[in-house]
Amino acid sequence: MHAPRSTNAAGAPPSGVRVLHVTPYFPPTWAYGGIPRVVVALGRAQVRQGAAVRVWTTDAFDASARATVAPVRTLDGMEVHTSRLLSNRLAWAHQLFVPSSLPPLHDCDLVHLHGHRHLLNFLAFRAARAAGIPVVHTPNGTLPRHERKTAAKRVWDVLFDGDVPRLANAVVATSRAEVRDFLLAGVPSERIRRIPNGLTLEEFAELPPRGSFRREMGWGDEPLVVYLGQITPRKGVDHLVSACERVPGVRLAIAGSARGMQLPSGSAHYLGTLQGADRLRLLVDADVLVYASAREVFGLVPLEGLLCGAPVIVGGDCGCGEMIAEARAGLLVSHGDVHGLAAAIRQVVADRGAADEMVRRGRAWVVQHADADQVSARYLELYRELLS
Residues 215 and 345 in one domain: yes
> Is 232 among the domain residues?
yes
> Is 353 among the domain residues?
yes
Residue 12 clears pLDDT 60, i.e. is over it: no
Residues 22 and 146 in one domain: yes
Least confident of 154-163, 178-187, 209-218, 260-269: 154-163
Question: Which tens digits make up the pLDDT trace of 337-351?
Answer: 999 999 999 999 999
Residues 253 and 188 in one domain: no
CATH of the domain at 155: 3.40.50.2000
On the 0-12 / 13-18 / 19+ scale of CB atoms within 10 A, 130 is exposed
Mean pLDDT over each residue of the chain, to the nearest integer: 89
Q: Could you tell me the pLDDT band of residue 7, with boundaries at 50, 70 and 90?
A: very low
**Three-state SS for 45?**
helix
| Residue scoring higher pLDDT (137 or 295) | 137
Residues 170 and 187 in one domain: yes
Q: Are 288 and 225 in contact (CB under 8 A)?
A: yes
Q: Are 269 and 254 in contact (CB under 8 A)?
A: yes
Residues 185 and 50 in one domain: yes
- The whole-number pLDDT of residue 299 equals 79
> Is 10 among the domain residues?
no
> Is 2 among the domain residues?
no
Least confident of 157-166, 215-224, 264-273: 157-166
Residues 149 and 282 in one domain: no
- The whole-number pLDDT of residue 320 equals 77
Residues 26 and 129 in one domain: yes
Residues 364 and 231 in one domain: yes
pTM: predicted TM-score of the whole model, two decimal places: 0.87
What is the rounded distance in angstroms from the CA atom of residue 45 to the CA atom of residue 56?
Answer: 17
Number of domains in the chain: 2
Residues 116 and 102 in one domain: yes
Residues 210 and 357 in one domain: yes
- The whole-number pLDDT of residue 244 equals 96
> Is 7 among the domain residues?
no
> Is 356 among the domain residues?
yes
Residue 11 clears pLDDT 60, i.e. is over it: no
Question: Which tens digits make up the pLDDT trace of 277-288?
Answer: 999 999 999 999
| Residue scoring higher pLDDT (235 or 192) | 192
Continuous segment of H or E residues that includes residue 194: strand 192-194
> Is 4 among the domain residues?
no
User: Can you give the residue range of the structural domain that contains 43?
Assistant: 18-198+371-387
DSSP 8-state symbol, 79: E
- The whole-number pLDDT of residue 36 equals 92
> Is 12 among the domain residues?
no
Q: Are 321 and 293 in contact (CB under 8 A)?
A: no
- The whole-number pLDDT of residue 316 equals 80
Q: Are 172 and 193 in contact (CB under 8 A)?
A: yes
Least confident of 66-80, 155-169, 242-256, 351-365: 155-169
Residues 109 and 99 in one domain: yes
Residues 167 and 219 in one domain: no
What is the rounded distance in angstroms from the CA atom of residue 362 to the CA atom of residue 330?
Answer: 8
User: 156 vs 36, 304, 376, CA distance in Å?
Assistant: 23, 33, 31
| Average pLDDT score over residue span 15-41 | 91
| Residue scoring higher pLDDT (154 or 57) | 57
